[in-house]
Amino acid sequence: MSMALVGIIMAVAFWLYAVIDVLTTEPDDCKVLPKGIWVAIVVLVPKFGGMAWFLIGRPRKDPFDPDARAERIERMRNRMRLNDDAPIDPAQERRRAQREALEEEMFQRRFRQRVEQQRKKTRDEQPD
């Protein structure tokens, strides 16, 4: 394997790492430019885009900083939290209720069958 091939593989790996790092960074954490522009720079200018991202645009994170960790967790919770003020679609709510009722009915049916199997097994095992 020639040194040129090794260099190319390393450059592609660095570029992919930079692209993935930009894409997984929170938009609010990007420094100097908005996240979309950083993505464009890293993708369109492979040689210097990744270096610029790591030197200028990437946020410095201390993984052991409890405040930063708490902030990331809070952002994640806010993203996952349902909007309680959003209007509920009656048809969707009706389908959800029907599905839950059907699941409950199926559970009850399987439970009763299992109880009957256990009773039958117990009766068959008892000596007469």
The answer to whether 59 and 31 have CB atoms below 8 angstroms apart is yes
pLDDT digits (tens, 9 = 90+) for 38-78: 899 999 988 889 888 888 888 776 656 666 667 777 777 77
Helix (H/G/I), strand (E/B), else coil: 32 = coil
Q: What is the mean pLDDT of residues 81-97?
A: 71
Q: What is the pLDDT of residue 35?
A: 87
Q: Is 70 exceeded by the pLDDT of residue 19?
A: yes
Name the residue with tokens 């930079």: 18
CA distance linking residue 100 with residue 81, whole number of Å: 22
pLDDT at 1: 63
Amino acid at 36: G
pLDDT of residue 117: 93
